[in-house]
A and B are shown apart, each in its own frame.
Chain A
Amino acid sequence: MPTTAPAIHTHVACTHCGDECPDEPIIFAEQPFCCQGCQAVYELLNANNLCTYYRLDERPGQKVKAVELPGRFDYLDQESVQAQLLAFRSDTLAKLTLTIPQMHCTSCIWLLENLHKLNPGVSESRVNFLRKELTVSYLPSQTSLKEVVKLLAAVGYEPQITLAELGAQPHHGNRALYYKLGLAGFCFGNVMLLAFPDYLSFTEQLQVEFGRFFGYLSLVLALPVLLVSARGFYESAWQGLRQRYINLDFPISLGLTALFLTSLFDILTHRGPGYLDSFTGLVFFMLIGKWVQQRTYDALHFDRDFTSYFPVAVTLLTKGGEKSVSVKDLQVGNRILVRNQEVIPADAMLMRGTGQIDYSFVSGESVPVAKLTGEVVYAGGRQVGEAVELEVVREVSQGYLTQLWNNPAFQKAEKQTLETYADKVGRYFVAVTLVLALGSILYWYPKDPHMAMRAFTSVLVIACPCALSLATPFAMGAALRVFGRLKFYLKNSAVVETLGRADTIVFDKTGTLTDTHRSEVRYVGLPLQLEETQLIAALVQQSTHPLSQRLAKELGSNKLSVANYFEVPGQGLRGVVAGREVKVGSAAFVGAETQPREGPKASADTRQSRVYMAVDGKALGCFAFYNVYREHMQEVLQTLGKRYHLAILSGDNNTEQERLRELFGSKAELRFWQSPQDKLDYVAALRQQGRTVIMVGDGLNDAGALRQADAGIALTDTLSNFSPACDAILDASSFGQFATFLRFSQDCLQVVLATFILSFGYNGIGLGLAVQGKFTPIVSAILMPISSLSVMLFATLLVRLAAYRNKL
């Protein structure tokens, strides 16, 4: 039987990509390679003396897709596309920034920055590794944008050029934050220096002589902090107010204002030195919190725009011939040409050719669906095989996926999840502060009107919840870094909170729980001879069809040559191997009888995909491809089942119900035959019941449900080129730790709460002093920085501790 495990070979790693080579690797320059693609890259680099690439880091190479289409990058020659992509252009120099998700190591940086050695027309290329961007300058006289992109694709770093990218400005990071931070730091340092004489008793003499000068000077220094550095807090508080919503920035703004006005009053009336050192210090510390937050976000580049999946340009068929147009300009009735491996940009009717549409992008289903002339194909599918002619029936913006996307449910979902702990606490904070402030006025006013004013402002000042605002970014930032290290990428820190609070987890089946790349292959039929196995293996090696490739991997490789090779898209392959005619494909194609399916209902809906084969016209049998569940799934589900309400939504039939019931336990909800809309509705219904829902899925198909859920997690094998609309991306290899991730999120929530308590402790001490009117500038100058700094430290350390305890 060929399907039994092949004898264990000592596999050699491919020189380029490091993957296991087939039994007889391609040898070039005494180095083993797994495929032509890898060899081609090595050849190119070797010829240009760039083999340092392989020495800098281990296994730097990316497997290069074998499919190379002649006109794939032609749209880059288009004037309108260039105008949108190029950041700068003159006759002598052109410059642009490209996103290259594949870059991952030192070798990548080195090669990408040495592009000029491969194409002399490139004058400079600089990598921004954290953003995964490459900024290229080239000489338009010597090369073109298309050539540059082609070169990048040839060495395995094809840039991601998408609709969303067009029109996007090359961002300058957030420089404004650095300016604000630098300014606040400068002012804080100097104001503190000027305030120093107040702190110590032996400098009293100095204070008497220069107090007024120091006061005015620190006022001058504090002004830019108020006007520039602290502006963000005021803006955010104002925005919140306009939406009738009090966020954490509101009490912060209130406190800062009180602090500044009190100081202004004290200094101008020569009552004292004011609190300007506390004021500038607070702004500085809070900006550091913002900076930490921003850095964490920068490392996670999330794209929520579905248009980023779609091609930039399509080939339009007009009477005058082929023309490349922007997808945005497509209209109903347009005839378009979609070549092998191209994504269908809009719902369209197949006019000519045989469609073999790979919807793995949309449904997670890896087997292409055959479409005949006259049938409608949906946007998001990828044509595999010959070029087809389509007529657009719906504009891009009205496509089926777009409808799903624009479902009003998504927008609602976002607002609700945005409500974080900090904001919630912030609201109560304001109420308590105002009550206390008014209370202290009422208490003091009859006795000492001056003291009443002082107590009132002190309460507002000390109640400034700056430590509170620092707790979340620091705790969550540390958590996001821990997750990122383990290949679990979260959109922002609010997601950690949601994960920690969730009580229900909904799984999608296809592609999420099942691993389409490792589907099990079983043979049914007449026993195969070794010779026949080799004949079939040789034939399927020729094809790029996923099932052929899967089968080729299963059967192993050999060097039999194939003559008269012919592939009928959607049906099968045939060829003459070693003088014998071999056919592989559908039952009808090879002339075999359909093998009876196992199970009662497993007929039309394919749980298993089958490939039949015949040698010399004699049907032998078929290979059936079964779904295989992900590794560690059982452990993960068992752990989760104890703590969460589980559910599974499958677009497939219910043949695997029993198996799933066993895995998920008796309480779990199992639903089959679910359309994307059903999934979305189900998640929405759960949320209506007041549950906090995590949806784990993949692809665009469950994107609706992913967005509808409080936290949508996309489980994916290929991190680099897949970023669906979701709140988090989980690398499939880390799925085994999913349960631990959730527990860690809960721990992080606890940490945030603990830091809140700590910060309340400081506020409590301060308030105690404030209502008594004993809150002096010196107390403020000591208490404020200590509370801010200790909260930052406390939050970071506790999260580290939690990670350590969870063995993450």
Chain B
Amino acid sequence: MNIIFILIGISLLVAVTFLGVFLWAVRSGQYEDDYTPSVRVLFEDEE
């Protein structure tokens, strides 16, 4: 059953990665405004 230790270690590692990604997303300002991008993506490029 020692495999449990390794499995839990791996699952934690994955979870920590996701936490890291979330913290990065907050840091880069992605949660500042969650409305405008939804509109922006629909604008057509006219160049």
- Interface, chain A (partner B; CB < 8 A): 49, 52, 106, 109-110, 113, 126-131, 172-173, 175, 178-179, 182-183, 186, 189-190, 193-194, 206, 209-210, 213, 217
Q: A128 with B26: in contact, given A52-B46, A193-B11 (CB under 8 Å)?
A: no
B10: interface (CB < 8 Å):
no
Contact between B36 and A127, CB atoms less than 8 A apart: yes
Contact between B26 and A130, CB atoms less than 8 A apart: no
Of B8, B32, B34, B44, the most chain A CB neighbours within 10 A belong to B32
Residue of A nearest to B5 (CB): A213
Contact between A183 and B39, CB atoms less than 8 A apart: no
Contact between B26 and A182, CB atoms less than 8 A apart: yes
Nearest CB of A to B26, in Å: 4
Contact with A along B11-37 (1 / 0, CB 8 A): 110011011001100110101111110
Contact between B19 and A175, CB atoms less than 8 A apart: no
Of B11, B15, B16, the most chain A CB neighbours within 10 A belong to B15
Contact between B19 and A183, CB atoms less than 8 A apart: yes
Residues of A within 8 A of B22 (CB): 182, 186
C-alpha gap A175/B4 in the complex (Å): 36
Nearest CB of B to A176, in Å: 9
C-alpha gap A186/B21 in the complex (Å): 12
Contact of B33 among A106, A128, A175, A206 (CB under 8 A): A128
* Interface CB pairs A-B, < 8 A, 29: A52-B46, A106-B39, A109-B36, A109-B39, A110-B43, A113-B40, A113-B43, A127-B36, A128-B32, A128-B33, A128-B36, A129-B39, A130-B34, A172-B29, A172-B32, A173-B32, A175-B27, A178-B31, A182-B19, A182-B23, A186-B16, A186-B18, A189-B15, A190-B11, A190-B15, A193-B11, A209-B1, A210-B1, A213-B5
3 closest residue pairs by CB, A with B: A128-B33, A178-B26, A186-B19
Residue of B nearest to A130 (CB): B35
Nearest CB of A to B41, in Å: 11
Of B1, B34, B35, B36, the most chain A CB neighbours within 10 A belong to B36
C-alpha gap A209/B36 in the complex (Å): 52
Contact between B33 and A131, CB atoms less than 8 A apart: yes
Nearest CB of A to B45, in Å: 11
C-alpha gap A794/B19 in the complex (Å): 30
Contact between A129 and B23, CB atoms less than 8 A apart: no
Residues of B within 8 A of A130 (CB): 33-36
Residue of A nearest to B12 (CB): A190
Contact between A179 and B36, CB atoms less than 8 A apart: no
C-alpha gap A179/B27 in the complex (Å): 9
Residues of B within 8 A of A190 (CB): 11-12, 15
C-alpha gap A189/B14 in the complex (Å): 12
C-alpha gap A588/B16 in the complex (Å): 82
Residues of A within 8 A of B4 (CB): 206, 210
Residues of A within 8 A of B43 (CB): 110, 113
Residues of A within 8 A of B31 (CB): 173, 175, 178
Residues of A within 8 A of B11 (CB): 190, 193
Residues of B within 8 A of A128 (CB): 32-33, 36
C-alpha gap A730/B43 in the complex (Å): 33
Residues of B within 8 A of A109 (CB): 36, 39-40
Residues of B within 8 A of A206 (CB): 1, 4
Nearest CB of B to A448, in Å: 36
C-alpha gap A473/B35 in the complex (Å): 22
Nearest CB of A to B24, in Å: 10
Using A113-B40, A129-B35 as known contacts, list a sample of 8 further A-B pairs with CB atoms less than 8 Å apart, ordered by residue number in A. A106-B39, A110-B43, A127-B36, A130-B36, A175-B26, A182-B26, A193-B11, A209-B1
Residues of B within 8 A of A186 (CB): 15-16, 18-19, 22
Q: A217 with B39: in contact, given A131-B33, A190-B15 (CB under 8 Å)?
A: no
Nearest CB of B to A712, in Å: 29
C-alpha gap A173/B31 in the complex (Å): 9
Residues of B within 8 A of A194 (CB): 8
Contact between B8 and A217, CB atoms less than 8 A apart: yes
Residue of A nearest to B26 (CB): A178
Residues of B within 8 A of A127 (CB): 36
Nearest CB of A to B31, in Å: 5
Residues of A within 8 A of B27 (CB): 175
Nearest CB of B to A544, in Å: 36
C-alpha gap A106/B15 in the complex (Å): 38
Nearest CB of B to A299, in Å: 10
Nearest CB of B to A173, in Å: 5
Residues of A within 8 A of B32 (CB): 128, 172-173
C-alpha gap A193/B11 in the complex (Å): 10
Nearest CB of A to B35, in Å: 5
C-alpha gap A131/B31 in the complex (Å): 13
Residue of B nearest to A183 (CB): B19
Residue of B nearest to A128 (CB): B33
Q: A129 with B33: in contact, given A109-B39, A182-B26, A217-B8 (CB under 8 Å)?
A: yes
